[in-house]
Amino acid sequence: MKLKVILVSIVVLTTVFLSAFGSPAAPQTVRLQETVVPPDATVVPPGATLVPPTVIVEGTPVVPVTGGDDPTIWTIVLFGLLALLGVAFLVALFSPRTTHEHIDRNPPPPHDV
């Protein structure tokens, strides 16, 4: 194999390997839910968490928020590596292939029978 093919393969495999593990854990900045102490009249089984009701004000849209405000640097790096992987795949897919020297390019001559 050629050195260029080996190096590109190593870069692509390293990218796939590193993207499988995600970004390192960031310190937790969001407070977790606190357990509400129920009044004495309410019977709650042990191990259960009492969740207070959600108050929805009329006229405000209810949209679930699942992400942060801005993407982190690791998100940008991950998508950049995935884009690089896609470009490498497309270049490998559409690159012209040359015929090796040991392959005869001319068809055999016709036989007269």
Q: How many residues does the chain have?
A: 113
What confidence category does residue 51 fall into, taking pLDDT thresholds of 50, 70 and 90? confident
pLDDT at 83: 95
Domain with 87 in it: 1-21+72-95
Place of tokens 């942060």: 68
pLDDT at 65: 62
Summarize pLDDT for 12-43 with one digit per residue, the tens.
988 888 777 766 565 666 566 666 665 655 66
- Output 107 or 99, whichever has higher pLDDT: 107
- Is the pLDDT at 89 greater than 90? The verdict is yes
- Is the pLDDT at 103 greater than 70? The verdict is yes
Kindly state whether residue 85 falls inside one of the protein's structural domains. yes
Kindly state whether residue 84 falls inside one of the protein's structural domains. yes
- 8-20 core/surface letters (b: 16 or more CB in 10 A; e: else): eeeebeebeeeee
pLDDT at 31: 64
Kindly state whether residue 31 falls inside one of the protein's structural domains. no
State how far the alpha carbon of 70 is from the alpha carbons of 43, 57, 67, 74, 75, in Å. Answer: 43, 27, 8, 11, 10
Task: Please report, rounded to a whole number, the percentage of residues in the chain having pLDDT higher than 90.
Answer: 12
- Output 102 or 88, whichever has higher pLDDT: 88
Total domains in the fold of the chain: 1
Kindly state whether residue 29 falls inside one of the protein's structural domains. no
- Output 68 or 97, whichever has higher pLDDT: 97
Kindly state whether residue 45 falls inside one of the protein's structural domains. no
Model confidence pTM above 0.85: no
Kindly state whether residue 63 falls inside one of the protein's structural domains. no
Maximum distance among all Cα pairs of the chain, rounded to whole angstroms = 107
State how far the alpha carbon of 30 is from the alpha carbons of 26, 27, 62, 70, 93, in Å. Answer: 11, 9, 21, 15, 45
Kindly state whether residue 28 falls inside one of the protein's structural domains. no
Number of H helices, E strands in the chain: 2, 0
